[in-house]
Structure 1
Amino acid sequence: MESTHVWSTGETDVLARAVVRAPSVHNTQPWSLDLPDGQALLSERTDLALPYHDPLGRDRSLSCGAAVANLELAMRVLGAGTHVALLPDEHQPDLVARLTAEGTRVPSDTDLHRYSAIARRRSYRHAFSGQPVSDYDLKDLRAACSAEGVQLRVLSTRDELVVLADMLEYAGAALQRNHAYQRELALWTVRDERAHRHGAGIARSALPASSLPWAGIVRPATALPDRETLASRLQEETVLVFLTAGDSRLDHLNAGIAMERTWLAAVDLGLAAAVQTQPLHLSEARSSFVERLGLPGYPQVLMRVGHPLAAVPQSPRRRVAEVLDAPRD
């Protein structure tokens, strides 16, 4: 498959659906896709802004990084050797990535398994079963976290989890009091009836009323336990922290790529996961977290991983035609 390859209708659909199914902040799906011959161009939609949750656009870049990971995987499954260039043109700042087909390759079993996980990936904000994630599975997750400049840290000791609980307790209270943040969250919370399966936003059923802050999003009715209760709950889970050496837009994209690769590996292992970034947007909470744990970089994403108790519905997704920047016949 050469760079002059013309994408067929079927290939276009495979690539676009892989992008559509990537995780994104508040399920905003802040990207568009163009498919010129032999290339895939992913652009960031800065019009889909969350000024109270994501004032600097960091989570939007993480989301685009996750979409790049899915897009690269889909190209590999289609038999393309793929070259990925992030932020390839300084004169087109919205252009996040240019992926170029370079020859042909046979997709590996890992490629095929991880690709199949794209459609099965969900944000699991409920309690896990309590069965621990095995060391063998953790080894696979560490191996999957492969993006330039990204490190994976597993929080496992009681002391580490108390530090995390402190941050979640502080951030949960702060976000619960932030009325502008809560209004923004409400605007992006949608019904998930059959008639609303297309679109954007967080499905209401994905936000259980009893969910504690460790499980993700804090709403006005969310119970805020003390840090000891929170730390005890965290001990029943596996918590991963994605770190980058810098805090630039390129770092955020790479963190998103690593996050999605790790998430797909978890799904392939029969695990469920959910990510959390809200506490890391509070600069004082983030700085304290780094200092107390002696982290060797900037924390970009928290991921909780475990064995699910039940299936959860998929969030709504935009139609493929909405994502394709230049739909083809």
Structure 2
Amino acid sequence: MTLPEPTPTSNSGAARQWTAGEKHLITGAAALAPSVHNTQPWVLEFHDEHISLYERLDRALPHHDPVGRDRLISCGAAVENAVSAMRILGWLPAVRLRHDPAHPDEVARITVTGRAEPSDVERHRHRAISARHSHRGPFAGRAMENDLRRELLGAHTVDGVGLRALADPEEVAALARLVSHSALVLRADHAYQRELTAWTAPVREPMPGAGVSSATRRVSTLPWAGLVRRTTAIPDIGFLADRLSREFLVLVETPDDGRHDHVRAGMAAEQVWLAAVDAGLAGSLLTQPFQLPEVRAGLVEKLALSGFPQLLLRFGYL
């Protein structure tokens, strides 16, 4: 899916009526956000001066995502893309995360606060939305420049989210052990495998919301790539650690582990991923291992984290 070119609008006034073109651009950007098993577990509602994003509980994955953490991370990425589209349209959006018992499925409310021309960075990030995709294989051997690594670590603007690059050999080895453990557990989990099969589309490039591609069945996907099937080959830990050491790995953590923390983690991850795409990198987002309590506890212990690990981003060149 390619985003349409935005229609120029004036720089004054407040939004009262969303045009069909504005709605199309914003919903199209949200639809291109990464989501767990490509379930697209959200829906947008347009109001006079704000947009509400609701999580879709009918897209729940009880075996992969029993507490809905991945669903909220996905919603956070969709919020970020919607905000990006609003900025391209010349609106100044303000995001307020919601947890109203009267509307428990409302995740975020994006309010229009004024008008302003988008910056060059915002234009670049918006163009990257259409180019972003999940690369589940290994990367090329080209090393990433330190300046680019630092740039990506500073690419997000979401309060309450921390980014940590994993480069120390002991940290990478610990991650390899935990990823390998989670892969073994998930490969043997029949309920999880049935759920993954149910969300596997019989096409190479599924539409947004239609599940993951059946092409992954025929690819020998190693367990860091985000999909573990019954046929996934799980290498020895030394081999896995060696492969991980060649990638730029970014751990996303939050000080707490509530709904808002999960949404913020998704927003920050999407900002960093779009910055990486704009810099010519490929990447993917890994949450599967974080569903196992022992993996999250192991990361906290081995990496001496002060917060809660939510997801892992991996980047490299093709």
CA contact (8 A) 2:73 2:266 kept: yes
Note the alpha carbon deviations across 1:13-44, whole angstroms, 9 max, x for none. 10110111111000000001111123211111
Give the match for residue 301 of structure 2: 291
Runs of 4+ in 1 over 3 A off after TM superposition: 1-4, 196-199
- Give the whole-Å Cα distance in 1 for the aligned partners of 2:208 and 2:151: 33
Identity within the alignment, % = 45
Q: CA deviation at 1:145?
A: 2.3
Structure 1 residues 36 and 43: alpha-carbon distance in aligned structure 2, compared to 1, 3 A threshold: same
CA contact (8 A) 1:70 1:118 kept: yes
**Please, which of 64, 89, 92 is the counterpart of residue 78 of structure 1?**
89
**Gapped regions of structure 2 (runs ≥ 5):** 1-11
**Please, which of 210, 222, 237 is the counterpart of residue 232 of structure 2?**
222
Q: CA deviation at 1:193?
A: 5.1
CA contact (8 A) 2:38 2:209 kept: no
User: Counterpart of 1:47 in 2: which secondary structure?
Assistant: helix
CA contact (8 A) 1:155 1:240 kept: yes
Structure 1 residues 210 and 13: alpha-carbon distance in aligned structure 2, compared to 1, 3 A threshold: same
Give the match for residue 317 of structure 1: none
Range with bigger deviation, 251-260 or 210-219? 210-219
Amino acid in the other structure paired with 1:96: V
CA RMSD of aligned residues (A): 1.5
> TM-score, with normalisation over the residues of structure 2?
0.93
CA contact (8 A) 2:204 2:215 kept: no
1:129 aligns with 2:144: no
**Please, which of 239, 244, 251 is the counterpart of residue 249 of structure 2?**
239
Q: CA deviation at 1:179?
A: 0.6
CA contact (8 A) 1:126 1:208 kept: no
CA contact (8 A) 1:189 1:201 kept: yes
CA contact (8 A) 1:65 1:254 kept: yes
- Give the whole-Å Cα distance in 2 for the aligned partners of 1:89 and 1:285: 31
User: Counterpart of 2:154 in 1: which secondary structure?
Assistant: helix
- Give the alignment of 1:152-171 within 5 angstroms: 152-171=163-182
**Gapped regions of structure 1 (runs ≥ 5):** 309-329
Structure 1 residues 241 and 198: alpha-carbon distance in aligned structure 2, compared to 1, 3 A threshold: closer
- Give the whole-Å Cα distance in 1 for the aligned partners of 2:71 and 2:209: 17
Amino acid in the other structure paired with 2:152: L
Q: CA deviation at 1:198?
A: 6.1
Amino acid in the other structure paired with 2:53: L
- Give the whole-Å Cα distance in 1 for the aligned partners of 2:207 and 2:256: 38
User: Counterpart of 1:119 in 2: which secondary structure?
Assistant: helix
1:307 aligns with 2:317: yes
Give the match for residue 120 of structure 1: 131
